[in-house]
Structure 1
């Protein structure tokens, strides 16, 4: 059972030090129940802007607001004590200028209590990463398949499959590392490219649809629990069919209510306490 031996929250420097020592375990969360359940087992929780699609059923991540991300991140931070928590910065909150990015990222750290932020983008955003890091904000850089660039990429498609595309992503990753990013999130990359980036990077890489050679892995929690619904990316491994458990519980509850079997007297106030039920029936002793 892979529970943590530590009893304090993993810091960004400690996460960085894990490169080459052991694999980093990460999942996404945006609510108290999920965060509490995974906290003993994961090193890193990413409060992803995938919240827009998973929690709200929106078509993309693009219209998630800073206020919504702060609220979800605060819920995760307040209900964990071990995992390092990284918050996605939503679309439009950091691209305009380094100064705007700093104001919004500083708000995120101060109001949510998270440990770091994650930004999507190529080498054009390296200057913003440097600006933030120099002012005390740890940054995880997200390259490859970037959901906030959905309209430019023409959909959720694997990246780095050609030599030219791979070279561009390598340049993006290198620029972010040079700017001071403490980690790279590699999404939807050709496996050889993700493996090469990991080998070349002095900072840990977290893969999602990238390579087993990455320093760590992350999945959208609802996908790996069978709660995602619809088409799943090929890189998702489903570890449980929690949707079936929920459907069964809701169906049994609905049947009980309609048949008058719930609530019972023991679920009500102001009535005599029901006699204890002896669940272990033993045969009477012979006289």
Structure 2
């Protein structure tokens, strides 16, 4: 006999922990602007991530490193205006938290105060524990991020799967337990072997949300531009495209261009 799932009017950090306990999968997508966030929220997505991936998909940079704290606050502010139900989590950008816990706290406070977001996300484990502790002590919810951490791309030198070797896998498991002990409310695992991700998800009580981490975790996240097929060039194995907006939008724009050039638009019914 199936049990009816709880209906959440607003998703909170507690909601996500409850969802894991109730074995209810968590859905998460990125958004960076008002219009897209409004659609995502209305569609019932649990968590909206204002990701530093905005550096790639919104600004055209090769990596996430160039995006600034001011940029992240700008995107987050626009997203927060749109939502009624989703939990909004904002990435702390590269350089805003790694070296100094006091700076990390200042960065997190700016995001929370200026954007109205609900939580922040940081990449890394034991290396940034003091920053995480400082932010949590101020009452700001923190989501962790382990595995492939794009802000460290020049350290890794590649976007390939992480933690395939035993030593790195062990460190990842230790870091996941550490993040739980520190008080993080959830954890993103990016591009790690599915068996390892499942093991981590079972070993901790907080939700584990995967991207390229298999189906044994508690939820999934994708970059919305990738999921909607707005970019045909990015095709990792973990990506499932649910639409082909690149083709649809290109055709619509071509049709508009043709109608303007021919004088067909606007017609008599489309003018005053």
- TM exceeds 0.5? yes
Matched, 1:197 2:181: no
Structure 1 residues 36 and 5, CA gap change in structure 2 (3 angstroms): farther
TM-score scaled by length of structure 1: 0.90
Residue in structure 2 matching 1:228, options 222, 231, 236: 231
Match of 2:82 among 79, 83, 86: 79
Residue 157 (structure 1) shift: 1.4
| Cα distance in 2 for residues equivalent to 1:50 and 1:251 | 28
- Structure 1 residue 167 and structure 2 residue 170: aligned? yes
Question: Aligned-pair distance for 1:32?
Answer: 1.5
* Preserved CA contact (<8 Å) 2:195 2:216: no
For the Cα contact (< 8 Å) 1:205–1:215, is it kept in 2? yes
1:108 alignment partner in structure 2: 111
Alignment TM-score, normalising by the size of structure 2: 0.94
Q: 2:37 aligns with which of 20, 35, 38?
A: 35
Number of residue pairs matched? 266
Please give the alpha-carbon distance, in whole angstroms, between the structure 1 residues aligned to 2:193 and 2:140. Answer: 30
Residue ranges of structure 2 left out of the alignment (5+ in a row)? none
Q: Distance in 2 between matches of 1:181 and 1:43?
A: 18
Q: Select which of 261, 268, 271 maps to 1:258.
A: 261
More helix by share: 2
Unaligned regions of 5+ residues in structure 1, if any?
270-287
**Following superposition of structure 1 onto structure 2, how do residues 1-287 of structure 1 map, counting pairs within 5 Å?**
6=7, 8-21=9-22, 22-40=24-42, 41-269=44-272
Q: Deviation above 3 Å: which 4+ runs of structure 1?
A: 4-8
CA-atom RMSD, angstroms?
1.4
2: CA distance, partners of 1:116 / 1:11: 10
